Structure 1
Amino acid sequence: DMIAARATIAGEGDDVSGTVRIGAPDGFGVAFLAKRLGELTALHRELTIQLVPVPRSFSLSRREADIAITVERPTEGRLVAGKLVDYTLGLFASRAYAEANGLPATAAELGRHTLIGYVPDLIV
């Protein structure tokens, strides 16, 4: 409200301008955000958005990002945080793999399957 009041007094419009750096996990940034940011910048021609992958640790105070999308809620700093969505993971297999190897019926059976996943040391 304060910013809106100041803009009204100064005679400024509702134009959005400047640079905003958004930090997001690779998958979310590439699969979800990137294709939507063009629409936002088309509406606000003076707005520049920098989409950066968020590593395990980053600092909003050092301007590594202005907005950060993370899997876990931040525990340090004076930040405003809100939940965007529920997040779940799943296991997937190609039809050819499933036909050749079958599908596991229990978690214990996963050990006999070839899994492709994240680097364990980089998982938050």
Structure 2
Amino acid sequence: MMAPRFERDPQASGPVVQGFAAGGFTVDGGVYRALLLTPDSAHGWEPPALAELEIGHLEALLGGGPEFLLLGTGAKMAFPPRRLVRDLEARGIGIEAMDSRAAARAWGMLRAEDRRIVAALLPL
């Protein structure tokens, strides 16, 4: 079975998740087990367990004043820690949590709308 591939939306700028391969996310020819996305860049990262995720783990994403954080919670949808939600809201940043595959697909659609978002995708 071939891994799903996504076509780049011609209106989307910046990195776009192109598919899933080798247990990770494919972006611009690289494969990342876990991924941080901004409108300008994609970086691999070593996230903590979801229950231990804090705003400090995400500081690299938050400097540009995003509208919200798209959080991929791994293989299944799970709720983010309440403290993380409160800390983001205190900065005026929303959070949308979903499983990491859905978050990767949503990233491309929202970037095509030129939304000021960031994403943190935990491993599949």
TM (norm. structure 1) is 0.29
- Relative contact order, CA 8 A, sep 6+: which one is greater? 2
TM (norm. structure 2) is 0.29
Look at both structures and tell me which one has the larger radius of gyration over its CA atoms.
Answer: 1
